[in-house]
Chains A and B, each alone.
Chain A
Amino acid sequence: MFKITHLSLLIATLALTACGSDSSSDNSKQAPEINPTPPVAVEPGPFTFAIKTTGDTEPEYLVTQDSISAEALTADGTGIEQQGWNYFYPVGNTLFISGYTNMEATSYKVNSDNEVAKLASFVFEDALEMFGNVDDKVLLASDEPRTGNHTQRVLYTVDAETGLVTSKVNYRLHDVDTGTPGEGTVGYATGLVVRDNLLFVPFHKLDDAGYFATPEPNSADIAIYDYPLTDGAEPKKIISDTRTSHVGVNGTTTSLITTNSGSMYTMSNGSVAAGFSPASTKPSGILRINKDETEFDANYFFNIEDATDGGKIFWFDYIGGNKAIARIITDDTGAAPWGAYNKSLIMQKLVIIDLVAQTITDVADVPLHAKRYSSPVEVMNGKVYVSIETADDAFVYQVDIDSATAVKGVEIKGKTIKGFYDLYH
């Protein structure tokens, strides 16, 4: 009659959400005053954003409004409520939302009433944690078992037009299994990118005892498959490069990006603050795979630490013209494990990277901030909207790509905005 909650404990420990914080807060201290900032008009037309509120539970809302120049971006009285912590991933004009609580991914699209409304949903066996897309028409989603066991992954292929799963295949990523947990490694995907008839899956090598540690952090590794995958697929090839560390960081879906010219770029962080354990001894940097190639370009390595006086790249996404918008952790000295995933480390600066010229330009007038999850950015009229979170507040910034400048917008009444979407055009 008095039930032990081991079941929920199992669920809690094995399927943890990726939210939370390491900061020990003193809840009883006084709330700081928030200075209102005059709203700045930026008008991309009806636009949608995914906002996470604050508090003991931090529900998320999908809000659509006509203008970004409202007094504040808020879910107060508006927005479609979601359950728990979610990934938001746009494919064309369809937005997929998938989380950890309800084992169900839901898609949203503008309906015949010209409103953002639910399109479809599908259930899955294990939480989907990595996403990609094919030509803005197909969503790829993969589960990522975290127990360290050498199990197969499942790749879901979903039609963005209908929101329906069209195929579901098992595949293997990376397994070194000695039979003794802790001696081998398992793969943890950090991207799903299709180029022609190949699928590129960068991954971390995690210990196979389930500690989520990175015992061999000093290489960038990408598994390459024939696409579409057949059931039970294994990589046709795994490419490695020892100039930097594992590609990507946990929870980020854009660690491998493709430019208009067909070249692919990876980003590597390798620091304790980004969840590496131990940290990589290789510098944080960017590697390239040239168009039609399936090897890293031996002549290209953009050493971020050299270019930014010791900074480490934590997130980037492609914004056209061989440019990426990125966040650089300027100083992670003494950072706690996973420190970049919460507000214990407010050390990220916003930059524009020219991937070909290998230059980094700080986006002016954006403060050092913390940011842990961004869904893929959409460029709207040459502008990118980002959520900038400092210790006490969060604001939207409108970034002009060409000039690498930003305009501070309205306040975000919540913890973060995970993404801004134009689902109407």
Chain B
Amino acid sequence: MKSLSLHLPSNFRIAALFYAKQLQLCVKRLPLVVTTFTLSLLTFSTLAATHSDETNTQLQKKHLNNKVNGEQINAVDNTIERISVVGQNDHKELTSSGFNVDVLLTEEFKNSSYNLIQVLQSSPGINVRHNGGVGSAFNLSLNGLSGNQIRYFFDGIPMEDFGSALAFPANLVEQIQVYKGVVPVSLGGDALGGAVNVITPELDQDLLDLSYTYGSFNTHKANLFGQRYFDNGSFIRLSTSAEHSDNNYRMNNVNQTDALGNVIGQMSVKRFHDEYTAGMVNLKFGLINKTYADELSLGITFAKNRNNEQHTATSINKVFGQFHSNNETKLFSTIYKKDFNQLSLSAYLLIGESEEVINDTANRDYNWLGEYTIKSDELKGELSAKSLFTVTDDVIRGNVSAQYQLTAQDTISISYSHNYLEKTGVDQVNLNNTAFSLPNWIRKSVTGLAYDKTAFTNDLTISVFAKYYNYQGEINAEQSINFTAQNVKTEVDLNETGYGASVSFQLNANLLIKSSYENAYRMPEAEEILGTGKYVRPNPNLQAEQSDNINLGLQADFNTSNTVHRFESNIFYRNSANFIRYVPDQIVYGIYRNLQYVETTGIEAGYYLRFFDNYALQLNGTYQELINKSLFDAEGTVDLNYGERMPNEPYLFANARLSANYDVGQNAQVNLFWTSAFVEQFYLNWESAGNTEDKLVIPQSITHDIDIEYSFADGSYNVSLSARNIFNAEVFDNFNIEKPGRAFYLKFRYLY
């Protein structure tokens, strides 16, 4: 079998279309460039090199919707049976690697009102649960693991502890890489269940992208993304976003109460204290393509939000009318990257501060109608004793990575990441709240080593890697020891070594098989191991959460003259131990312990069909069994739920997206999308206990969205009308906490 290798950076997407004996190769450089060209394949072994150069130099920058006709040269019979895309130096072409990674291109979502988290849901194996509308807390589950078991990265920089104000405007994002269960060492973090890496556009292009969205619930979103590349090799990028939503959507089943709190019925009301307002400015500038650096840049980010809370995270009975939080985040970063011939280096340093102020200073008691009574006790706030609590996270984060190409087939890489966090808490109102009042910090470092090999003319790729985690921390806290309050210092030191491997094999031109394994760890969060200083006690013996993650997947591509098909499926297995759980063992005092054991087996599948160039269908579905494998509970009592499905976890979900696009007149296009999402009903508690009709359930959820987009002037101007949850279904992700019903959004977008 003969094949052609093109060396392309990772932000290039390549699609091969065979038309009779012609090979048409579509190279898409995101976000704005599509170049279509056809290759002449006379002596293809030399062409491989030639074209890799040409690809870099001859890309024509055109708007996405403007299809460019490249040269068309007849291919010689069936000389080429396969195209593989090989990473160039520090970049990796991910989808053909052994890692189970989904690369989500955000391009097709940029004209719509979806946010990035919603876009993530279009990847199989992912389910996102929201606690409300814009700005509400969410929990993303990836192959059964969720919360802080999933780590997030921004151009490879870990994002934990960056605060709630930080946003990812869709136009800042070129692609989202979702690593499922097995994460390469280049992302230096402790991801137990996978990682989401948000990638921004290449810096050597001039871009301008403006958008404004207005919609239901008084929602406004404005984004500006501009990037300028100068001939002297310098660049500047500005990304800003501002958003606001009243989130005053209707709750259809809240308690109607009388003045004494008696529930006298159910009623439908609008949320009245859930406004979310956020703004962010991100400025990045520096030099690229210099002899001493491919990139040398500085970045400054400033983000701020205010989030009004309508109710507590678990109960809609506790209604707030004033309770809110403010977050302010500042980040400064510098990045250096250089590819030498065989050696590539990259490094970053980031310093940041995130300050969250939780304000519970109104001594009022609200009901769902927005009416309140003044609490007779002026010391009481809405939730508890009046409190104005400021938590400050100071972060210092750095990474150095090197990759060395031993031969054309062998690469070795090493990466060291360092992550320091200091938490400080001050309550200006409630003097009894002394959480984080004395110095405390954690330091987490991950050292990774990987060896990558390709063989059999690149049909086989193998990667083996190991990660060494080192974790240290210290908390000074006033604690009640031997019945008197004393300053107590607790130090922790924890080390783990994880390892893994991935392999992929191109079985034939249409079929890729891949498998990966990682013995993964999540180190404890600061609060889990150090406590909060008062009520949450430190547990120096706390261990990291550990999981053996196995993926086995296949990708099949097959095309006919009018259709392009892609089918992907992945079987996943997670054997997870030592899940960290909070145990309130001393009434008001509690401690985090390693308690839960869970075994997850699941299958996810995705199918993509494009037909007649105008229509596309994307389907994906996931079925997963999360099984409780804990033999004993926190007290050592036999866990009677051993072998049962874990409660409060979705186990069957799917979504579908049908799209159509039509050229309408000169350089104008209409795109239509129908998107449906389904989550099967699941129980809040263990399945086997209780009368079925008396069980607390999160009901089956089915929603349908419609998007209509109109683009003109070669895609420079875009208008889209979106309708979310068009049938106004009452949907829930969390028990009894309803999500928004039908909503409309109008978005304008201009790009240069």
User: Could you list which residues of chain A lie within 8 angstroms of chain B, going by C-beta atoms?
Assistant: 1-32, 34, 53-59, 61, 75-81, 83, 101-104, 120-126, 145-152, 156, 164-168, 170, 181-182, 208-213, 215, 231-232, 250-251, 275, 277-278, 337-338, 341-343, 391-393, 413-415
User: Can you report 7 A-B residue pairs in the complex whose CB atoms are below 8 A from each other?
Assistant: A2-B164, A11-B314, A14-B535, A17-B584, A25-B634, A59-B689, A75-B689
Q: Are A14 and B317 in contact (CB under 8 A)?
A: no
- A148 to chain B: which residues have CB within 8 Å? 432
Residue of B161, B377, B577, B696 contacting most chain A CB atoms (<10 Å) = B377
Q: Which residues of A contact B314 (CB under 8 A)?
A: 8, 11, 101-102
For residue B685, CB closer than 8 A to chain A, the reply is yes
Q: How far is the CA of A104 from the CA of B694 in the complex (A)?
A: 17
Is the CB–CB distance between B318 and A338 below 8 Å? no
The 9 closest A-B pairs by CB, nearest first: A21-B635, A278-B483, A210-B432, A13-B535, A59-B685, A25-B636, A165-B260, A20-B585, A81-B690
Partner of B383, one of A10, A19, A166: A10
Residue of B nearest to A34 (CB): B638
A147 to B588, CA, bound (A): 9
Interface string of B682-701 (1 = CB under 8 A from A): 00111011111011100000
Asked if residues A102 and B317 are in contact (CB atoms below 8 Å), the reply is yes
Contact A57 B685, beta carbon cutoff 8 Å: yes
Given A77-B690, A120-B262: A181 and B632 interface contact (C-beta under 8 Å): no
Whether A27 contacts B640 by the Cβ 8 Å rule is no
- Bits for B531-553, please: 1 = Cβ < 8 Å to A, else 0: 01011100000000000000000
Question: Chain A contacts of B353 at CB under 8 A?
Answer: none
**Size of B's binding interface in residues, CB under 8 A:** 104
What is the CB-to-nearest-CB distance from A176 to chain B, in angstroms, rounded to a whole number? 15
Contacting pair B263 A78 (CB below 8 A): no
Q: Which residues of A contact B583 (CB under 8 A)?
A: 20-21
Is A120 within 8 A of B263, CB to CB? yes
Closest chain-B Cβ to A338's Cβ sits at a distance in Å of: 4
Known: A7-B313, A53-B640, A343-B637. A275 touches B376 (CB 8 A): no
Task: Provide the residues of chain A in CB contact with B584, threshold 8 Å.
Answer: 12, 16-20
- Which chain B residue lies CB-closest to A279? B483
A415 to B691, CA, bound (A): 19
**Within the complex, what minimum Cβ distance (angstroms) separates A158 from chain B?**
9
B137 nearest CB neighbor, chain A only: A3
State whether the Cβ of B13 lies closer than 8 Å to any Cβ in chain A: no
- Chain A residue nearest to B393 (CB atoms) is A4
B8 interface contact, C-beta 8 A: no
Chain B residue at minimum C-beta to C-beta distance from A163 = B262
A275 near B587 with CB under 8 A, answer: yes
Point out which of A5, A15, A24 has the most chain B C-beta atoms below 10 A from its C-beta. A24
Cα separation A422 to B631 with both chains bound (whole Å): 34
Q: Which residue of A lies closest to B578 (CB)?
A: A27
Interface residues as binary, B301-323 with A (CB distance below 8 Å gives 1, 0 otherwise)? 00000010100111101100000
A21 touches B630 (CB 8 A): no
Cβ 8 A contact of A343, one of B309, B365, B636, B639: B636
B172 on the interface (CB 8 Å rule)?
no
Chain A residues with CB below 8 A from B635, complex form: 20-21, 23, 25, 342-343, 415
B430 interface contact, C-beta 8 A: yes
B586 within 8 A of A: yes
A7 and B313 CA atoms in complex are apart in Å by 8
Q: Which of A14, A27, A31, A213 contacts B597 (CB 8 A)?
A: A27
Task: State in angstroms the CA–CA spacing of A143 and B341 once bound together.
Answer: 71
Residue from A2, A54, A120, A250 in contact with B163 in the complex, judged by beta carbons closer than 8 Å: A2
A151 touching B385 in the complex, CB below 8 Å, given contacts A8-B313, A25-B633: yes
B706 within 8 A of A: no
Contacts of B512 in A (CB 8 A): none
B1 sits at the interface (CB 8 A): no
* B→A interface (CB under 8 Å): 115, 117, 135-138, 152, 159-164, 166-168, 255, 257, 260-263, 307, 309, 312-315, 317-318, 325, 327, 354, 356, 358, 360, 365, 375-377, 379-380, 383-385, 387, 389, 391, 430-433, 435, 480, 482-483, 485, 527, 532, 534-536, 577, 581-590, 593, 595-597, 628, 630-642, 647-648, 684-686, 688-692, 694-696
The answer to whether residues A27 and B631 also contact, given A56-B595, A147-B384 and a CB cut-off of 8 A, is yes
Q: Which of A57, A101, A415 contacts B637 (CB 8 A)?
A: A415
Taking the closest CB of chain A, its distance from the CB of B277, in whole angstroms, is: 13
* B356 partner residues in chain A, CB cutoff 8 A: 4, 6
Bound CA span A121–B260, Å: 11
Partner of A149, one of B385, B535, B628, B638: B385
Q: Compute how far the CA of A78 lies from the CA of B590 in the bound complex, rounded to whole angstroms.
A: 32
Q: CA A161 – CA B308 in complex, angstroms?
A: 39
Q: Report Cα–Cα, A113/B314, bound state, in Å.
A: 33
The reply to whether A12 and B379 form a contact with Cβ atoms under 8 Å apart is no
Partner of A342, one of B160, B358, B585, B686: B585
Do A10 and B586 have beta carbons less than 8 Å apart? no
Residue of A nearest to B598 (CB): A56
Q: Which residues of A contact B588 (CB under 8 A)?
A: 13, 16, 146, 212
CB-based contact A28/B384 at 8 Å:
no
A1-B166, A1-B167 are contacts. A59–B686 as well, Cβ < 8 Å? yes
Q: Decide if B647 touches A57 in the complex (CB within 8 Å).
A: yes
- Among the listed A58, A125, A277, which residue makes an inter-chain contact with B483, where contact means beta carbons less than 8 Å apart? A277
Smallest CB separation, A258 vs chain B (Å): 27
Partner of A7 from the list B312, B536, B587 (CB cut-off 8 Å) is: B312
Instruction: Report the separation of the CA atoms of residues A413 and B162 in the bound assembly, to the nearest whole angstrom.
Output: 45
Check B641–A29 contact: CB distance below 8 A: no
Q: In the assembly, what is the distance between CA of A126 and CA of B383, in Å?
A: 8
Complex contact B380–A9 (CB within 8 A): no
Q: Name the A residues within 8 Å of B161 (CB-CB).
A: 4
Are B534 and A14 neighbours in the complex by a CB distance under 8 Å?
no
Q: Is the CB of B639 within 8 A of A123?
A: no
Question: Is the beta-carbon distance between B630 and A56 smaller than 8 angstroms?
Answer: yes
Cβ contact within 8 Å between B325 and A7: yes
In angstroms, how far is the closest chain A Cβ from the Cβ of B113? 15
Q: Are B261 and A122 in contact (CB under 8 A)?
A: yes
Tell me, in angstroms, the Cα distance from A135 to B587 when the chains sit together: 31
Residues in B neighbouring A61, C-beta threshold 8 A: 689-690
Contacts of A26 in B (CB 8 A): 632
CA distance A124 to B692 in the complex (A): 28
Chain B residues lying within 8 Å of A123, measured Cβ to Cβ, are 255, 257, 261, 263, 317
Question: What residues of A have a CB within 8 angstroms of the CB of B695 in the complex?
Answer: 81
CB distance from B303 to the nearest CB of A (A): 10
**Given A22-B585, A165-B261, 7 extra CB contacts under 8 A:** A4-B391, A10-B387, A53-B640, A101-B314, A120-B262, A164-B262, A210-B433
Complex formed: what's the CA distance from A343 to B633 in Å? 11
Residue of B nearest to A343 (CB): B635
State in angstroms the CA–CA spacing of A78 and B690 once bound together.
4
Task: Report chain B residues within 8 Å CB of A24.
Answer: 593
State whether B690 touches A170 (Cβ < 8 A). no
Assess the A122–B263 pair: CB atoms within 8 A. yes
Residue of A nearest to B257 (CB): A123
A168, B689: Cα distance in complex, Å: 35
A416–B313 Cα gap in the complex (Å)?
A: 28
Given A25-B636, A103-B318, A146-B588, CB of A80 within 8 Å of CB of B255 = no
Q: Which residues of A contact B640 (CB under 8 A)?
A: 53-55, 413-414
Closest to A55 in B: B641
Taken together as a complex, chains A and B put the C-alpha atoms of A58 and B534 apart, in Å, by: 25
Chain A residues, CB < 8 A from B532: 9, 13
| Structural contact, B636 and A338, CB atoms closer than 8 A | no
- How distant is the Cα of A71 from the Cα of B162 in the complex, in angstroms? 55
Known interface pairs A80-B691, A213-B483. Does A122 touch B262 (Cβ–Cβ under 8 Å)?
yes
Within the complex, what minimum Cβ distance (angstroms) separates B343 from chain A?
A: 35
Q: How far is the CB of A218 from chain B (nearest CB, A)?
A: 13
A272 CA / B138 CA spacing, docked (Å): 41
Closest to B354 in A: A4
In the bound complex, do residue A18 and residue B380 qualify as a contact, i.e. CB atoms below 8 Å apart? no
Chain B residues closer than 8 Å to A7, beta-carbon distance:
309, 312-313, 325, 358
CA A112 – CA B552 in complex, angstroms?
A: 58
